[in-house]
Amino acid sequence: MSRFRGDAALTGHATLRQAAAGPRTRLAALDRLGEAVVVFRPDGRPAYANVAARELAKALGFAVEADAVRSLEEAVVDAGGRVLPAARRPSEITRLTGRSCDREPITVAAPDGAPHRVLTTTRRTTDEGPPYGVVASYALEPAAPDGGPARNGSTASSGHAVAPAPGGSGPDDGRALRHARELFTTAFHQAPIGMALLDTEGRWLLVNQALCDLVGYSETELLQRTLHDITHPEDLPGQLVLMREILAGRRSSYQLDKRYMHADGHVIWGSVSVSVVRDDSGAALHLIGQVVDITDRHHGEQRLQHLADHDPLTGVLNRRRFEEELIRQLDRCRRYQEHATLVMIDLDFFKDVNDSLGHAAGDETLQSIAAALLGHVRSSDILARVGGDEFAAILVGVGSERASVAAAGLATVVREIDSAPTAITASVGATVLRSDDQADVALLRADEALYEVKRQGRDGSSVAPAPSSPPPA
């Protein structure tokens, strides 16, 4: 029981009182403390006991239920071993009078009759009273050098000795524990990144100011929500899978970039690291999370990705990205028997535009054509500029019955553009994608259909006939 020895100091009175007076999600934050803490209602009944309090009760031999701990003070005895009247117990003194007790020594009789000296510190948690709500902390009194209980000159002794813990323990242990706790508290609350302690259901138990600033909620507002409440709906399923894996012990931690919903409704990006705290039996107690704001970085990466994927002149996809999309579409055709049509669009006599009107006029013409085509295709379709005067499209869901009409429609769009410096037409070749197609084979068929239009005089469209047999492997 040496871990329960030391000064019951209620480190950070204001913070602890606030936690003890708050909702149950905030009360659970008391579990992070190493000292035993019990919260009493104004009627004197225990409302909450933290993990250390339950462990202390067990160590002394009391039967403990998951959510209701028998108050240690119910077993307080006087010097003669008689049960102490309730009004003389530290928690009752504070409840009935509002007066705090600091390191008040009491003697607790364990079920086996063994006496244990316990130092008790109490504070009221409510302003209205008496009676008041009370928070109390308990710690076994450190053993004196002679093996007996350490004496506090300002308090009376009960006359009962404290059994020394195996290995011994003294005041230095209590000071070291408080120092370590203060270091943790300082590091936690002053960390420049978001930090949080959560229960296994994703409820916030403790949050720092950096996390509150990141998501736009006050500490009180955030503690009334859960991690899932502020997670972007599209990222929630993946988050739940990772939480199940870490709680089941299949991984010790996880990292991911995810989206949060800010209090004002906009989306923010965070780089998240989560680890689990377990008890001696391996059961998960808490989750510890760290969140770094990467919103600016993510937007920067998006801009770079956009530049890598798009044609800088027209703003549509470039050839490299189009080829990637074509491969993805062919995979969907194989897996899900999805219909799609590949279209190649070549501008007729576009070189003459550059030669007669200049490259600035040529660029303006390309921009007008790209805008017109983009306005014609659906959001599910893919449009790209794949060469100087060539465009390509993937029309998702368009099969052999509609391919001819769709290709002709694209040729018409180019022909009817009136915002370009000069009138221009296009030759359009199309092919319906097959489940056994390869990208290069499909592109070759569309090109052949396009050149058939050019041979027939340009300004039109053609759909390649379906191959009579599958292409060679």
Residue 156 pLDDT: 34
Q: Which 3 state secondary structure label does DSSP give 6?
A: coil
Asked whether residue 134 is domain-assigned, the answer is yes
The Cα–Cα gap between 219 and 206 comes to: 9
The Cα–Cα gap between 199 and 212 comes to: 18
The Cα–Cα gap between 359 and 85 comes to: 99
Angle at the Cα of 274 from the Cα atoms of 272 and 279, rounded to 5 degrees: 170
The verdict on 446 and 347 lying in the same domain is: yes
**390-396 and 36-40 as β-strands: parallel, antiparallel, unpaired?**
unpaired
Residue that terminates a domain, selected from 269, 298, 327: 298
The verdict on 73 and 142 lying in the same domain is: yes
The full length of the chain comes to 473
The verdict on 403 and 362 lying in the same domain is: yes
Is there a cis peptide before residue 131, judged by omega within 30 degrees of 0?
yes
The verdict on 348 and 393 lying in the same domain is: yes
Residue 177 pLDDT: 56
- CATH code of the domain covering residue 442: 3.30.70.270
**Do the Cβ atoms of 252 and 246 come closer than 8 Å?**
yes
User: Residue 157, Cα to own-chain centre: how many angstroms?
Assistant: 52
Residue 146 pLDDT: 53
The verdict on 200 and 265 lying in the same domain is: yes
The verdict on 343 and 399 lying in the same domain is: yes
Asked whether residue 184 is domain-assigned, the answer is no
Asked whether residue 198 is domain-assigned, the answer is yes
Burial of 452 (0-12, 13-18, 19+ CB in 10 A): middle
Provide the number of structural domains found in the chain.
3
Residue 428 phi/psi, 5° resolution? -120, 125
Asked whether residue 421 is domain-assigned, the answer is yes
The verdict on 271 and 221 lying in the same domain is: yes
Low-confidence ranges of the chain (pLDDT < 50): 1-15, 21, 23-26, 66-68, 150-170, 471-473
pTM: 0.51
DSSP code, position 164: P
- CATH code of the domain covering residue 120: 3.30.450.20
Asked whether residue 304 is domain-assigned, the answer is no
The residue type of 39 is: V
Asked whether residue 407 is domain-assigned, the answer is yes
The Cα–Cα gap between 150 and 144 comes to: 4
Residue 184 pLDDT: 65
**267-278 and 284-293 as β-strands: parallel, antiparallel, unpaired?**
antiparallel
Ramachandran class of 167: left when φ > 0, alpha when ψ lies in -120 to 50, beta otherwise: left
In angstroms, what CA-CA distances link 300 with 33, 157, 213, 320?
41, 68, 21, 21
Which candidate, 59, 29, 25, 64, places its Cα nearest to that of 46?
64
Instruction: Output the CA torsion 303→307→310→316 (10° steps).
Output: 50
DSSP H or E run through 382: strand 382-385
Residue 321 phi/psi, 5° resolution? -70, -35
Which ranges of 47-120 does DSSP label H, i.e. alpha helix? 51-59, 90-97
In angstroms, what CA-CA distances link 307 with 209, 281, 315?
36, 53, 9
Residue 269 phi/psi, 5° resolution? -110, 140
Angle at the Cα of 187 from the Cα atoms of 248 and 142, rounded to 5 degrees: 85
- Tens digits of per-residue pLDDT, 56-113? 888 888 766 544 355 567 788 887 888 888 888 888 888 888 888 888 888 888 888 8
The verdict on 134 and 252 lying in the same domain is: no
DSSP H or E run through 374: helix 359-376
Query: 3-state DSSP helix/strand/coil percent for the chain, to nearest 5?
Result: 40, 25, 35
**Do the Cβ atoms of 100 and 124 come closer than 8 Å?**
yes
CB atoms within 10 A of CB 268: 20
The Cα–Cα gap between 194 and 94 comes to: 37
| Residue bearing tokens 């119910």 | 74
The verdict on 209 and 338 lying in the same domain is: no
Asked whether residue 469 is domain-assigned, the answer is no
Residue 246 pLDDT: 92
Domain residues for the domain of 273 are 191-298
DSSP H or E run through 275: strand 267-278
Residue 198 tokens read as: 């959560």
The verdict on 279 and 320 lying in the same domain is: no
**Do the Cβ atoms of 255 and 242 come closer than 8 Å?**
no
The verdict on 353 and 226 lying in the same domain is: no
Which candidate, 89, 87, 88, 85, places its Cα nearest to that of 71?
89
**Do the Cβ atoms of 91 and 122 come closer than 8 Å?**
yes
Residue 422 pLDDT: 83
Asked whether residue 175 is domain-assigned, the answer is no
Helix axes of 295-309 and 319-336: crossing angle, nearest 10 degrees: 90
**Do the Cβ atoms of 153 and 166 come closer than 8 Å?**
no
DSSP H or E run through 328: helix 319-336
Residue 35 pLDDT: 75
Residue that terminates a domain, selected from 170, 205, 222: 170
The verdict on 288 and 408 lying in the same domain is: no
Is there a cis peptide before residue 130, judged by omega within 30 degrees of 0?
yes
